[in-house]
């Protein structure tokens, strides 16, 4: 694992090389013949539109439709492996010696592929993954892709369940993962129609997931870094805190979230460059007229058990660098006391955890009202988590 104070470390050479090999792995698992190769950019653009803006028009079986599955494999799979791979490289998953994972809405085993590429130290462990998705076609394509990435022989035990999530999904697991799933769940569609949050639905979801977990099991939720997804995670976070969960990451505290993503306000998300993204993905992006310069994500890692009291001097950087109204540069940070603005120049990046020293006199950013805190001279004052 890399420096745990950096949330989205630069991609490792394994991740970069794996993404290059992914093209051939997908072509073997799901070959595209002439006419379909020519229409791929249009299929990618259509699916992107449906997944981003027209969620309610998404047919529940979209991942089983050949054109959508091909487009997902060649566009969303590499980007999600990239996002999840960079996140996983620095995340404290605390897996036991023989870990059991449950991936709900696993699609083409995106998370398993990202874990394989980003955490090579886990490759020799007797890891078991139960992947549940209502599209069996996506699961099967994913298993083939992952086996190719692993060089033809996969040491992990992967069980596929092609069905809707719910009921008992296998034995208790150490980590339950749901990535890019929340806004496809039935309750979420209903709340969109009602135009209001469904607090009881959040509690029911957490309760159902809790039943799947071993006593020290954790839950990892990863979504794209858009406002609606982040706001949904913030609501789930609040419900989890009320039911004695702790937020292992990204929050450095268990107080109310200062970036809940309500109406026009900011939302909690982390962005990074796309260094190391292979040329074949960029090519598809260009022909589908989709951006490839930045990626962002929102996430929540929940755990049980004792945690140290929140340290108010520890700040999670939650934005890029921006110009302050009164001159100089700043970036937003999240602390147990709410939102702050970190001032000064330092090599800190979105998502980083830094330790600050509070000045004797409190001053505030006129635009946001957030407390201004100077970065320690020479950088972010990185700390171990």
Ligand X SMILES: C[S@@+](CC[C@H](N)C(=O)[O-])C[C@H]1O[C@@H](n2cnc3c(N)ncnc32)[C@H](O)[C@@H]1O
Among 30, 119, 134, 143, binds ligand X (CB under 6 A): 134
To the nearest whole angstrom, how small is the minimum distance from the Cβ of residue 222 to ligand X?
Answer: 7
Question: Among residues 44, 181, 233, 281, which is the contact residue for ligand X, using CB under 6 A?
Answer: 181
Interatomic CA distance for residues 147 and 143, integer angstroms? 6
Q: Which of 5, 180, 191, 335 binds ligand X (CB under 6 A)?
A: 180
Interaction of residue 158 with ligand X, rule CB under 6 A: no
- Contact letters for ligand X, residues 137-156 (x by CB under 6 A): -x------------------
Closer by beta carbon to ligand X, 132 or else 370:
132
**Nearer of residues 110 and 350 to ligand X, judged by Cβ:** 110
Is residue 225 a contact residue for ligand X (CB under 6 A)? no
- Give the footprint of ligand X on residues 80-119 (CB under 6 A): 80, 105-107, 110
What is the C-alpha to C-alpha distance for residues 239 and 199, in angstroms, rounded to an integer? Answer: 8
Q: Which residues contact 134 (CB under 8 A, 6 or more apart)?
A: 60, 61, 63, 64, 162, 163, 164, 165
Q: Can residue 136 be called a binding residue for ligand X (CB under 6 A)? A: no
Give whole-number Cα distances, 5 to 27, 139, 383, in Å.
Answer: 37, 33, 6
The answer to whether residue 233 forms part of the interface with ligand X (CB under 6 A) is no
Rule CB under 6 A: say whether 223 interacts with ligand X: no
Nearer to ligand X, 47 or 372 (CB): 47
- Binding segment toward ligand X, per CB under 6 A, in 132-140, 187-195, 291-299, 306-314: 132-140
Nearer to ligand X, 43 or 365 (CB): 43
Given the complex with ligand X, which of 69 and 341 has the nearer CB atom? Answer: 69
Rounded CA separation 217/229 (Å)? 23
Residues 35-74 that bind ligand X (CB under 6 A): 63
Comparison of 3 and 184: residue with beta carbon closer to ligand X: 184
Structure tokens at 135: 């599209």
Residue nearest to ligand X (CB): 107
Regarding 165 and contact with ligand X (CB under 6 A), the answer is yes
Nearest to 315 by CA among 256, 271, 358, 264: 358
d(CA 380, CA 291): 30
List contacts with ligand X (CB under 6 A): 63, 76, 80, 105-107, 110, 132-135, 138, 164-165, 179-181, 184-185
């Amino acid at each position: 694992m890399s420096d745990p104070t950096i949330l989205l470390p630069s991609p490792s050479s394994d991740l970069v090389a794996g993404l290059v090999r992914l093209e051939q792995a997908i072509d073997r698992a799901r070959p595209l013949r002439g006419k379909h190769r020519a229409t791929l950019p249009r299929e990618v653009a259509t699916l992107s539109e449906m997944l981003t803006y027209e969620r309610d028009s998404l047919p529940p079986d979209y991942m089983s439709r050949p054109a959508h599955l091909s487009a997902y494999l060649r566009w969303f799979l590499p980007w999600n492996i990239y996002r999840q791979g960079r996140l996983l490289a620095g995340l404290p998953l605390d897996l036991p010696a023989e870990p059991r994972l449950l991936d709900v809405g696993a699609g083409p085993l995106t998370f398993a592929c990202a874990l394989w590429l980003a955490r090579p130290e886990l490759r020799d462990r007797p890891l078991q993954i139960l992947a549940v998705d209502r599209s069996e076609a996506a699961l099967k394509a994913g298993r083939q892709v992952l086996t190719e990435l692993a060089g033809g022989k996969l040491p992990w035990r992967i069980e596929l369940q092609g069905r809707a999530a719910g009921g008992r999904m296998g034995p208790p697991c150490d980590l339950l993962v749901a990535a890019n799933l929340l806004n496809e769940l039935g309750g979420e569609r209903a709340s969109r129609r009602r135009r209001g949050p469904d607090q009881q639905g959040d509690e029911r979801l957490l309760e159902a997931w809790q039943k799947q977990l071993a006593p020290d099991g954790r839950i990892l939720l990863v979504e794209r870094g858009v406002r609606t997804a982040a706001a949904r995670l913030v609501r789930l976070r609040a419900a989890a805190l009320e039911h004695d969960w702790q937020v292992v990451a990204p929050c450095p505290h268990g107080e109310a979230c200062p970036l809940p993503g309500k109406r026009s306000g900011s939302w909690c998300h982390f962005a990074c460059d796309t260094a190391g993204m292979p040329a074949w993905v960029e090519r598809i992006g260009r022909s589908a007229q989709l951006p490839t310069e930045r990626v962002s994500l929102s996430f929540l890692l929940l755990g049980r058990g004792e945690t140290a009291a929140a340290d108010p001097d520890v700040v999670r950087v939650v934005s890029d660098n921006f110009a302050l109204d009164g001159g100089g540069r700043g970036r937003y940070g999240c602390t147990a006391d709410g939102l702050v603005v970190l001032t000064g120049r330092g090599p800190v990046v979105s998502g980083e955890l830094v330790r600050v020293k509070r000045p004797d006199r409190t001053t505030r950013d006129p635009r946001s009202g957030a407390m201004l805190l100077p970065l320690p001279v020479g950088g972010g004052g990185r700390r171990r988590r």
